[in-house]
Each structure stands twice: as C-alpha cells, then as structure tokens.
Structure 1
Amino acid sequence: MAHVLVLGGTAEARRLAGELAGLPGVRTTTSLAGRVARPRMPVGEVRIGGFGGAAGLADWLGAQGVTAVVDATHPFAGTISAGAAEAAGLTGVPLIALRRSGWTAGPGDRWLPVDSLAGAAALLPSLGGRVFLSTGRLGLAAFADLDELWFLVRTVDRPRPPLPRQAEILLERGPFSVPDERELLLRHRIEVLVTKDSGGDATAGKLVAARELGLPVVMVRRPPPPAGVTTVPDIAGVVRWLSGLPGFPGFPGSAGSFEADKCP
C-alpha cells in the first residue's frame, strides 16, 4: 500500500487529505506541528508534534513505510520545509511542495515589500503611528521596541512576550470578508498594515480594504523553498505527481500533463 505523509496545517493540506481519503491502495497521514491550540483537523490519520529534526523525520519515514511526502505547510514554515527536504534526501523518499500562489499588487495598492519582520519594523515609524499587525503570533519580538507606535495584533492563539508595549490583541481566525476588514481598519483608525505574503483568499480581504482606504501595506516576502524541491500551486498538481510515482494507483481525474517548478 502506498503511504503519503502530508505535512499540514493549511487549508490546502486539509483539502488534499480529503482528496486522498478512501482511495484504494493509499494510506494518508497528516502531520500537524502542534503550534495551534485548536487546529482544524483533516480527515484520516493525524499525527501531532515534531519529529525531532530531519534525522527524526527520516527515521519516521522508514519506520512507517512512507512512499511519498507532500510539504503542504505554510509558505513561511521554512524550518519544517528545510527539514523535510533533508529527510527526503537522506531516505530517497520522493518529496513535493504544495504552495498556494502569492498575492500580487494591483492598481491602487501601496505595497512596500521587505524581506523580514525586522525590515518591516524598520519602516513603520515613517509610515504611521497606528499599525495593524497581521503576521501571526511568532516573531512579534521584532516590533517590541517600537514604544511610540500603537499596534492591533491579530492572531489565532494568544502570542507570548516580548510584544509591543502599546498593543491590543485580537484573537480571531479567518476567513475575513472585505466589509469586516474595512470596518476593523476604520474602527481602530489604522494607518498602516503589516502582513506576510501568505497568499490565498481567506485573509486577502484586508488587502482590498487597505487599497480602498489608501493605506500603505508592508508586505513581507516569502522565503524561497529549499533548493531542488519540486513545487506545485494546487492539489491537482500534487495528484498528478503522485499518480506518476512507481507503485501508486491511478487517481480519478488525474490525467493530463504534469507541470511544476523546481527551485534552482
């Protein structure tokens, strides 16, 4: 039996697990890092917690007879993705990365791209005194010394210190509509938005609202995937890739050419 390990935590990972569930000859296990207190659970087998680095993951792949790995983690989960690439190299288990497309600035957008949260923090004092910080609960220490600014920090789970001294914490989980995001920005008199280029529709409403209100958006660029890892933007690409592996059964609707990007 083919055994697929899905490194999950995203909506795409949950949909992929559902796509693979019940297919004859395929066992699917979704791995969640355990960083979210109440994760949305996929169908099928689920494993929660780390593997103990690349070596631990390699041992697990061998012990569980994994025949393919799909890295469907968040685009900014660089440590997990690097560990998956290393483990795949150690074991020879095929690996593919599922990465939703990033956002693209359009007419009227005032985006300021940066490479890190530290780079975003360096820009803020010149952009406005009231900041909507929508970058997740990790890495907020980059903004902790900006005492003169006020922050609205939105996360799924409560973040841990260090945090900005002037901060209101908003615990919410998307998706968020454009009208709701516009009302949020107006109610808190936000002057600048900081976010990561996560892509997808669930949290894109804030970008539309910022455009409508003429607000600058500090956009943290994605880190590149590990070198040599094949990357596809959708579940259909993953299914086509799996269908082409030795020992995997055919998948309904998987016909068609396989197109993917491979990072240099």
Structure 2
Amino acid sequence: MSTGAPSGWSPGHRHWRINTTITVVSVVIALLSASATIFGVLRSHTPTVRAIVDVPAPSNLPAATKSPEPGSTMCTDDPDRSMSGWGPARPLYDSDSSPYATLDSLWENPNIGDERAFYGVREEGSTAPWSQDLEVKPGKRYVVRAYIHNNAGSDRAVARDVNLAVNLPTCSGLSIGSNAFVKASNTFPNEMWGSITFTSSRTFNLAYVEGSAHLYGNAYGKDGVKIKGTAFLTSAGTLLGSAALDGKVRAGYENALYFTYVVRPQFASS
C-alpha cells in the first residue's frame, strides 16, 4: 500500500496546481475582505479634519503682513495711517479639529470672531467689540487684549513653551502701532503676530499702567492671575499657560486664555 500522496494528486499534475492556486487566491481575498472591514471601521471612527482655504482676511485687518521686529518703532505723524495687521498666513479651521497643536486658527470663533484678529483694544470699562484701530482721547485708559486658543482636535496635543511678547513703542506721533508676538516650540506655525493702531489728532505717546497685566482663564478664576514685572514688554516675553505659567496651553475653548494690560495716552502740551 502506498504511503505517498493520493494517486492523481501529485504536484506534477496540472489539476493539482490549479486547485492550489484557487485555494491561495481564496485565502488572499478573504484576508483583503477582512482588512477592508477592519480599516473601514477605523475610518468610520476617525473624524474628518478639514482645513479651510481661501478664507478672506478679517474685514478690519489687511492680509498677512511680514512680522515686524519686537522693539521696532511704529510711530508716524500721519493720523490716517493704520499699522494693524496679522500673520503669518496659516491653515484655518471652523472648529477645534487641527491634527496638531496650532494657535488662533479658527475663523469663526463664537466668542471673538476671526482668531487672526487675536490682538485688540478698547476703552477701559467698555463692552464694545475689540478693535484693531482706535482713536485715543485725553483722560481715558485703554485695555489691550491678546487671545490665545489651541485649536488641536486632541487633548494630547498640548502647545508647549507658549510665550507672549508685546511691542509697545515709547515714541510719539499721531499714529502709533503695537504688536503682540506669540511663540511656541511645537506648534505650526511656531510664531504668530497681530498689530493694532492708536490714533489722535494731537501728538501723543503710550504709557503702560504699572501692574495692570493679568492672565484670565478657567484655571485662574474671575480675577485672573497678575503678571509680575514687565518682561512681556521685552523681546524675551513671558510664559503663559492654561493651568499654570509653565508655557503649556491645552486644546479646547475651556483652556483658552485672555492676556490683558492697560495703557494711558499722554499728550503733548498744546
């Protein structure tokens, strides 16, 4: 009695090869079908990330401008000249859905509007909308605000080493510009900036009201946390954070920050 392969099923016979090929193909198809099912399930649970392109610039700001240098002089005797702006151009979103840590890249924030206009000013005590161009008057003080919001879609995408530096010129003129620079070590882009313009029909300069700088966020209560010193008015800047002043800003509206300080216009004697 033979102990080898059954008669008629030797590898040398053509019908053996055909049957083996059919078996292999069936196994491959089954594996591909299972893979498609598995990955289909994974895809169905993966949110679609959609960057918004060709969104017009905020109506009150020009298109992205080159970043001015911290400490640069932004004073002119032309009261009609606006130095307001924002930058750089970057991917925009309509919700917190960025696949990476990114700052102020929503164009429809229900609280402040277009986040590219994150740097704004208004009269102290006013509830008027934040502006990027404002006429100053004697005897008034003005609150300047920088808004910081991490638009990542995952709470694991923490923005790190978040630093704010403000250029508040000490020069005099009829039109004075101020810039805010926000930097981080792991966001895209790594730096963003915004500019506002103060104007008057009389020559003036701007003075920081000592001790007025505060950071507001859910972790700091209604009174916020006082920012000591004036490092934020230098190119070194100051660290911010959603839970502590450690440079870490977590994703989501609940971790958004408002940095504010107060300025007072000083007018030349007539």
TM, length-normalised to structure 2 = 0.22
Counting helix residues as a fraction of each chain, which structure ranks higher?
A: 1
Look at both structures and tell me which one has the larger radius of gyration over its CA atoms: 2
TM, length-normalised to structure 1 = 0.22
